[in-house]
Copies of this chain bind each other. A is one copy, B any other.
Amino acid sequence: MSAGTTFQPDMAHSSEVRPSADFDGAKSAVAAFSKTRSATQALCAPLQIEDYGVQPMPDASPPKWHLAHTTWFFETFLLKTFSKGYSAFHPAFEHLFNSYYNGVGEPFPRSRRGHLSRPTVDEVTAYRQHVDAEVCALLDLAEQGDCWAEISRILLLGLHHEQQHLELLLTDIKYNLRHNPLHPAYVSGSHGAGSGEKEVAGLNPSEQIQHKPLGFDAFRPGLVEIGANSGFCFDNELPRHSVFVRSFALADRVITNREFLAFMDDGGYRRPDLWLSEAWANRQPEDQHRPLYWRMHDDDWYEYRLEGGLSKLDLDAPVVHVSGYEAAAFAAWSDARLPTEFEWEVAARDQVICGNFVEEGVFHPRPLGPDNKQLFGDVWEWTSSSYGPYPGYRPLPGVLGEYNGKFMSSQWVLRGGSCATPRDHIRSSYRNFFYPKDAWQFSGIRLAKDL
């Protein structure tokens, strides 16, 4: 949508869609299941056994835990419910790998996940294989049964759940490797420190791009329909409902490292007027006045990347791993603001979903390319919207009702997916949410303005 375009308020009746399966049958279900499960496993290939267990901060769970928890999800909600005679792979796993479902029992404390040297990686792998085989067997058997709709609905939820953890797996691995003083790379790559000089020379195409000034697309006011309207979605994207959106302008790309450096150089971290009160009261010591993965070395800025490890900062790449507080302060400094999640959705809903996703294997946001507004992929975009229920929101029935609803306080919505998100996981109605202090996700900044 280019500047000046009018959007037409969508007054269609808000149908109360719910997550629904679209599997043709067991065969396609098994195929989807196998593909997603393999994708998770494939991302662990570069790890050492030792990397599977560490938890350098409470939020960054060990890879081993992600592998086991996603398996626990299928075991708990599919096998234990629908698979006759199924007995748990291990009696303690119900407790150990429950993330936060109080309805299933008291979960093992999150902050202590990294204290568990057992089960070993081999045992967790065996757990995955066992559950995978049992799920495939269940799907084959259930195809003709009464529960097929319910089973395929939960299967689909489980696959999207696994995709969420696939991204967390990457962000948690990154946090761990970066905070190790050896800062090992996850995978080697063209951006590695070793190839620093060459790489900067090779940046010529993006050097040109950098001169593209930040533009804004204008949107006229109107009543719009917000929320999912077809296909799978999480309960928090429903119901589709009407929102009146005033005229606004949205930046035509995300903010770059070059722009964020200008904020820093202008003393942005030292000006209380730019910061929310909570952020200022809890501000970090001065040596952490920078995005989470940046480091100064010999008067040059470096950034840790999964691919290649510590690398010279690419000034034209999107700034990433900034907190919501940093995003809001940058926006205030820019005499702009963050968009609401509704504004973002209005701008994104007619866009083709393409961009730099996890399938690219780059694991880092890329400088702006031609014909792209970076709405999808690259970086999650902080919005100014507090994460809350849509009008008429109903959580899923039963224990799965704990999936989303109970987190609807104190967090902010992020939109658009990142370079660590599977391409088929994202959509324009997708609502991600983190605390505004969080920065270890691939989170970046898009500006908005009133018109």
Contacts and interface: CB of A to CB of B under 8 A. Distances in A.
A294 to B, nearest CB: 20
Interface in A392-431: 392, 401-402, 406-410, 412
Contact of A223 (B112, B223, B388, B412): B223
Contacts of A436: 409-410
A266 interface: no
Interface stretch (A31-39, A118-126, A134-142, A152-160): A118-126
Interface stretch (A230-238, A270-278, A348-356, A359-367): A270-278
A375 B100 CA distance: 37
Given A179-B115, A277-B407, A278-B409, A392 B50 contact: no
A406 B180 contact: no
Contact of A108 (B95, B181, B279): B181
B117 A53 contact: yes
A386 B388 contact: yes
Nearest to A246: B391
B392 A450 contact: yes
Contact of A278 (B53, B55, B176, B410): B410
Interface string A187-202: 0000000000000000
A75 B273 CA distance: 22
- How many copies altogether? 4
Contact of A115 (B121, B176, B276, B401): B176
A449 to B, nearest CB: 10
A242 interface: yes
Contacts of A377: none
25 contacts: A48-B117, A49-B50, A49-B121, A56-B112, A96-B182, A102-B272, A115-B176, A115-B179, A116-B180, A118-B180, A118-B182, A223-B223, A241-B244, A244-B244, A248-B391, A275-B406, A277-B406, A278-B410, A279-B409, A280-B406, A385-B388, A409-B410, A409-B412, A409-B436, A410-B436
A243 interface: yes
Contacts of A388: 384-386
A165 to B, nearest CB: 18
Contacts of A245: 391
A409 B49 CA distance: 40
Interface in A246-299: 246, 248, 272-273, 275-280
